[in-house]
Amino acid sequence: MKINEKFGVLNIDTTLYKTRISSRFSNRIPYKPVDPHLILSFIPGTVLDILVKPGQTVKKGDDLMILDSMKMQNQLKCNIDGKVKSILVSKGDRVSKGMVLIEIE
Amino acid sequence: MAINKKIKELQEKREKVLLGGGEQAIEKQKALGKRTARERIMALLDENSFNEYDLFVEHDARDFDMAKKSLPSDGVIIGSGTIYGAPVAIFAQDFTVAGGSLGLMHSRKITKIMDHALEMRIPLIGINDSGGARIQEGVNSLAGYGEIFFRNTISSGVIPQISVILGPCAGGAVYSPALTDFVFVVDKISKMFITGPEVIKTVLGEEISMEDLGGARVHSEITGNAHFFALTEEECFDQIKRLITFIPWNNGQKAMAFEPREPKPEYNINKIVPEDPTLPYDIKDVIRSIVDFSDFFEIMELYAKNIVIGFGRMGGRTTGFVANQPLEMAGVLDVDSSDKAARFIRYCDAFNIPIITLVDLPGYMPGVDQEHAGVIRHGAKLLYAYSEATVPKLTVIIRKAYGGGYIAMSSRHLRADFVFAWPSAEIAVMGPEGAANIIFRKEIMSSDDPNGTRKQKIEEYKEKFANPYVAASRGYVDAVIEPSETRKFLMHSLNVSENKIIQMPEKKHGLPPF
């Protein structure tokens, strides 16, 4: 323990504790509920084909895109009924995990 | 005499092989800040204690022009020697010979010394510095790894197994260290991973350096695969030697006894812990105020710092310490700290080392990340490890012991042999603030002065329940003691439990929540 060390505060069961806060805790990504309007890449890969166009009406279960990853062709399906608002990637793009690929409205 | 000629012949043969991969390869090794395999063995073992076996072993691979290649000792040195007089079996992969790659005979040398260690019931030390499987030898290489993993598993809990990573250790090779008891790494030298940066880039498009992927720091701070971190090979060997003094040669023995020594006076147990349970302090100072000569040998110092584990001596005898660390994340239990402590408890139990647990924690860490990371399953490991352990278990409750955390930290209910509490102990379902908010919700809500009522109710709860005497009145705590009496009580309890015997129901093995 260093003299005059500045501590953080951790709340456990509404009691506030003066303590060192780990970088893992302070850097954690707060949880966000899944938004069915956003089609995300669930794995890094390459966009092999885009099967819809902006403005197109889509139904739950429709194929939207083929994502090539780990030597597999993955069909990305629509979660809800709606309309394609925008497509944020193009054919041949390499995408990382968790990127927004298509927005549905 | 004819025999002299033969002796000369042997000497010549030896000299040729002792050079390993040759001067050029040795220079390359040195340029990386690494010692040769032979230098490492000499640095680690007592002087002149090393007996080498299988110096003249050669591979008999024929494919891919291997027949023309001579690989001295097939890239690995095996033998036995002593550390502070304690016998150890040792192997060291020689990176200067074909990159320390593992072929059939290389693996047979390793398994030979492993069998030897198990049969002789002596510790095994493996120095890993290898590019991986010798691809030219195909499935024979894989067979070699499998034979090593099998022996690691069979020897587990019988003899101490120590892995030293002093170079690359990639692919299947990492699983041998992972199966052993203690893994030592050195900054910038050790590299461990299942798939390297190149494969990750090709398959997933993610770019990362070898160091950031599986360097010594990563495994000491993030993954928990390594137990000891050093800046140089020399420091690493000192750590290994020190560890050897704390552990027994095998599971049928106790660790070497030393002369008892009093703790150093600068660690004053009465002055370390603040009264307010929300304020931090360094629990290691409390440990140092209790153990012989204030000498505490910490394990996994950089990983899950909210719990502290390691060895110290009480009256000359090795003792394992598990302690919440209020200085880091208030000492909460979470996925990583439960995992860290549970494995250490099982180690102590396997090797007849009594466990002292120091308790000061606010409970389990709340959070989506914790729940989704499996805090139920990982937290349960701690309960399992303490319940299953039959070595003497001593517990000291220093301040907070709330809720599930109280139960998990070697409570009476998990069959701790002796439970002591300081007068500052608060043994309760949760902290006074949280408890008062729930129990007196109606009163607080309907009050004209909710804040005043809340404060008053918190005080009431503190008065009644935030102390050791409720637990003591049920016999869950054996004695409420003054901090300055801690060492005396612990030493006495350890003496009393020297011959502890517990009968467990017969079973093939339990099913810990791995």
HEC secondary structure over B418-468: EEEECCCCEEECCCHHHHHHHHCHHHHHHCCCHHHHHHHHHHHHHHHHCCC
Range of the domain at B162: 2-246
Q: How far is A58 from chain B (nearest CA, A)?
A: 29
Taking an 8 Å cut-off on Cβ atoms, the answer to whether B282 and A7 are in contact is no
Q: Measure CB to CB from residue B280 to each of A7, A15, A22 and give the nearest one.
A: A7
Q: How far is A82 from chain B (nearest CA, A)?
A: 30
Average predicted confidence (pLDDT) for chain B: 94
> B334, A24 in Cβ contact below 8 A?
no
Q: How far is A59 from chain B (nearest CA, A)?
A: 30
Radius of gyration of chain A measured on its C-alpha atoms: 21
If asked whether residues B28 and B104 sit together in one domain, one would say yes
pLDDT at residue A30, rounded to an integer: 87
If asked whether residues B242 and B314 sit together in one domain, one would say no
Taking an 8 Å cut-off on Cβ atoms, the answer to whether B329 and A20 are in contact is yes
Mutate to test the interface with A, among B272, B433, B451 (most CBs of A within 10 A): B433
Three-state SS at B20: coil
Q: How far is A10 from chain B (nearest CA, A)?
A: 7
> B481: closest CA among B217, B290, B240, B221?
B290
Taking an 8 Å cut-off on Cβ atoms, the answer to whether B434 and A28 are in contact is no
Owner of token pair 């492993």? B114
> B429, B390 in Cβ contact below 8 A?
no
Closest-CA residue in chain A for B284? Answer: A1
The DSSP bridge partners found for residue A66 are A49, A75
B42 inside domain: yes
Separation between Cα atoms, residue B166 and residue B188, nearest integer Å: 9
Closest-CA residue in chain B for A72? Answer: B203
pLDDT at residue B494, rounded to an integer: 97
Closest-CA residue in chain B for A27? Answer: B369
Chain B residues touching chain A at CB-CB below 8 Å: 203-206, 278-282, 305-306, 326-332, 362-363, 365-369, 402, 430-434, 437
- What CATH number did the domain enclosing B412 receive? 3.90.226.10
pLDDT at residue A75, rounded to an integer: 92
B273 inside domain: no
Separation between Cα atoms, residue B307 and residue B350, nearest integer Å: 21
Phi and psi (nearest 5°) for B341? -70, -40
pLDDT at residue B373, rounded to an integer: 94
If asked whether residues B236 and B376 sit together in one domain, one would say no
Position A97 pLDDT exceeds 90: no
If asked whether residues B460 and B471 sit together in one domain, one would say no
B255 inside domain: no
Q: Which residues of A touch B271 (CB under 8 A)?
A: none
**Where does a domain end: B246, B273, B305?**
B246
Whole-Å CA distances, B125 to B93, B128, B433: 11, 10, 51
Separation between Cα atoms, residue A79 and residue A39, nearest integer Å: 8
Please give the interface size between A and B, counted as residue pairs whose CB atoms are below 8 Å apart: 77
Q: How far is A69 from chain B (nearest CA, A)?
A: 7
Q: How far is B382 from chain A (nearest CA, A)?
A: 20
Q: Which residues of B touch A42 (CB under 8 A)?
A: none
B267 inside domain: no
B510 inside domain: no
Three-state SS at B341: helix
Q: How far is A55 from chain B (nearest CA, A)?
A: 31
Position A104 pLDDT exceeds 80: yes
Owner of token pair 């990492």? B174
Which regions of chain B are under pLDDT 50? none
- List, for residues B298-316, the tens digit of each pLDDT value: 999 999 999 999 999 999 9
| A94 contact B CB<8A | yes
Taking an 8 Å cut-off on Cβ atoms, the answer to whether B332 and A12 are in contact is yes
> B375, B364 in Cβ contact below 8 A?
yes
Residue B167, number of CB atoms within 10 A of its CB: 23
Query: Lowest mean pLDDT: which of A32-36, A51-55, A99-103, B214-218?
Result: A32-36
If asked whether residues B313 and B223 sit together in one domain, one would say no
Q: Which residues of A touch B202 (CB under 8 A)?
A: none
Position A66 pLDDT exceeds 70: yes
Separation between Cα atoms, residue B329 and residue B334, nearest integer Å: 10
Say if strands B182-186 and B161-165 run parallel, antiparallel, or are unpaired: parallel
Taking an 8 Å cut-off on Cβ atoms, the answer to whether A19 and B329 are in contact is yes
The DSSP bridge partners found for residue B181 are none
Domain count across chain B? 3
Taking an 8 Å cut-off on Cβ atoms, the answer to whether B205 and A96 are in contact is yes
If asked whether residues B347 and B220 sit together in one domain, one would say no
Three-state SS at A47: strand
Owner of token pair 């279960």? A61
pLDDT at residue B3, rounded to an integer: 82
Taking an 8 Å cut-off on Cβ atoms, the answer to whether B369 and A16 are in contact is no
> B349, B387 in Cβ contact below 8 A?
no
Closest-CA residue in chain A for B304? Answer: A22
| A98 contact B CB<8A | no
If asked whether residues B444 and B483 sit together in one domain, one would say no
Closest-CA residue in chain A for B199? Answer: A70
If asked whether residues B197 and B329 sit together in one domain, one would say no
Separation between Cα atoms, residue B12 and residue B14, nearest integer Å: 5
Q: Measure CB to CB from residue B329 to each of A25, A43, A45 and give the nearest one.
A: A25
pLDDT at residue B62, rounded to an integer: 80
pLDDT at residue B65, rounded to an integer: 80
Q: Which residues of B touch A98 (CB under 8 A)?
A: none
Q: How far is A92 from chain B (nearest CA, A)?
A: 13
- List, for residues B52-97, the tens digit of each pLDDT value: 999 999 888 788 888 778 888 999 999 999 999 999 999 999 999 9
| A20 contact B CB<8A | yes
Task: Note the ipTM here.
Answer: 0.86
B257 inside domain: no
If asked whether residues B319 and B376 sit together in one domain, one would say yes
pLDDT at residue B1, rounded to an integer: 60
B440 inside domain: yes
> B513: closest CA among B401, B402, B393, B408?
B408
Domains of chain A (ranges, CATH numbers): 38-104 (2.40.50.100)
Tokens of residue B43, six digits: 């640095």
If asked whether residues B296 and B412 sit together in one domain, one would say yes
If asked whether residues B371 and B343 sit together in one domain, one would say yes
**Where does a domain end: B246, B274, B296?**
B246
Residue B488, number of CB atoms within 10 A of its CB: 11
B503 inside domain: no
Position A98 pLDDT exceeds 90: no
- For residue B158, count CB atoms less than 10 angstroms from its CB and return exposed for 0-12, middle for 13-18, buried for 19 or more: middle
> B250, B121 in Cβ contact below 8 A?
yes
If asked whether residues B134 and B82 sit together in one domain, one would say yes
pLDDT at residue B63, rounded to an integer: 82
